[in-house]
A = this chain, B = another copy of it.
């Protein structure tokens, strides 16, 4: 399984935003919508072995996690409005520490970065953190087991978050010479993983 964890500092945590204004009233929710697309879509198919975890840290209820599961997700189309609509439906659910299914393959719960990182570690996942001064991905040996790739939003991650990610043992990875949007990073990561899998 490949996991993507996106830390979204401004993403709104209630469903009272307009699908016509995902960047504004929803707190750059458009970034998350594009990440869902990059993580899950193939041409005429979905990546069944992928889960994407959106950590929403905006108002009014910071610390909600929406998970899309490539194996079971339904009603998802590639456009931003489609994933935005499923995110909105998930945020309509009441706050809970337990996962609540909002639509097939989409769940929501309350959690923070620390909880997510320890869960991934307990599951035996290898953690990677995308950073410009990280190790060059093309020269890095990647495990065949479960992997988690951690990415920030348009403002990156905070110093506290970075310290927490490093403490969890995440390896810093670099995917190219230029700083890119998170969804573009996911696409490039997938391409590298696709090539490795073909070689196995």
Report B-chain residues with C-beta under 8 Å of the C-beta of A187: 180, 184, 187-188
CB pair B176 A78 closer than 8 Å? no
Query: Within the oligomer, what is the number of copies of this chain?
Result: 2
Q: In the complex, what residues of B have CB within 8 A of residue A34's CB?
A: 34, 37, 78
Whether A175 is near chain B, meaning CB under 8 Å from some CB there, is yes
- Which of B80, B179, B180, B198 makes the CB contact (< 8 A) with A79? B80
CA distance A197 to B31 in the complex (A): 27
Question: Does B177 contact A23, Cβ atoms closer than 8 Å?
Answer: no
Which residues in window 49-82 of A have CB below 8 A to B? 77-82
- Report the contact-size class of chain A (Cβ under 8 Å from the partner): 35 or more
Q: Which residues of B contact A181 (CB under 8 A)?
A: 41-43, 78
Q: Which residues of B contact A31 (CB under 8 A)?
A: 78
Residue numbers in B under 8 Å from A23 (CB-CB): 77-79, 82
